[in-house]
Chain A
Amino acid sequence: GQQVMQIPQYQHVQEGEDFTTYCNSSTTLSNIQWYKQRPGGHPVFLIQLVKSGEVKKQKRLTFQFGEAKKNSSLHITATQTTDVGTYFCAGLPSDQGGKLIFGQGTELSVKP
């Protein structure tokens, strides 16, 4: 079936280092969304990318959607302890309506 693979599964960084998580889909996506789940919390919507090659920024976070609309990345510059949590990508396959396909998530821990 359709899958969205996300790597790495875990990332431990020193505060101030950069962090990147990557998503790859087996099929073309009409859009991709990113969510953040703080420890003990629930996923919270961060952003949606729709266009091929789109890049969006939110402060220290940069989101990219690949040219083929099959991959995406989230890059955090100069991580802070408030960035701790699990980041999920979620793609909507182009050939159907319906539900997002979630990646397995990348758990980020930040050492102060």
Chain B
Amino acid sequence: GAGVSQSPSNKVTEKGKDVELRCDPISGHTALYWYRQSLGQGLEFLIYFQGNSAPDKSGLPSDRFSAERTGGSVSTLTIQRTQQEDSAVYLCASSFGQGPYGYTFGSGTRLTVV
């Protein structure tokens, strides 16, 4: 597609429920990144994929967070048993690959846990 597409754009969920966030990167971009941004804060790295592999999962905050990427394209970030501290904007970005390539970010999913 023309840009990085994320869905849903907004999600309100009850504490304890599971949520799935989706990212559809730019066609041909082999690298895909997930970040989290709390209100007024910087970008917190979560995980990145090169193809379908995740060389760096170091940013996942706990084992409640997982992500997968299939077909070298769409990625899903799953948060199990959501907590209020999970409330944030989850941003996905893609690039041509590892190395000197700019990232294209999606518009994000605003997650609110009530």
Q: Please give the residue numbers on chain A whose beta carbons come within 8 Å of chain B beta carbons, in ascending order.
A: 30-31, 33, 35, 41-45, 48, 50, 88, 90, 92, 97-100, 102-105, 107
Contacts and interface: CB of A to CB of B under 8 A. Distances in A.
Interface stretch (B15-23, B67-75, B78-86, B105-113): B105-113
A104 B104 CA distance: 18
Interface of B: 33, 35, 40-43, 45, 48, 55-56, 91, 93, 98-100, 102-108
21 contacts: A30-B100, A33-B102, A33-B103, A42-B106, A43-B103, A44-B105, A45-B102, A48-B102, A88-B42, A88-B43, A90-B103, A92-B100, A97-B98, A98-B98, A99-B48, A99-B56, A100-B103, A102-B35, A102-B42, A105-B42, A107-B40
Q: Nearest 6 CB-CB pairs, A to B?
A: A45-B102, A97-B98, A104-B42, A42-B105, A102-B43, A31-B100
Contacts of A102: 35, 42-43, 45
Contacts of B93: 43
A61 B98 CA distance: 27
Given A98-B55, A99-B33, 18 more contacts: A30-B99, A30-B100, A33-B103, A43-B43, A43-B91, A43-B103, A45-B102, A50-B100, A88-B42, A92-B99, A99-B45, A100-B103, A102-B42, A102-B43, A102-B45, A104-B41, A105-B42, A105-B43
Nearest to B92: A42
Contacts of B55: 98
Contact of B91 (A42, A98, A107): A42
Contact of A97 (B40, B43, B99, B106): B99
A102 to B, nearest CB: 5
Contacts of B48: 98-99
Given A43-B91, A88-B43, A105-B42, A98 B100 contact: no
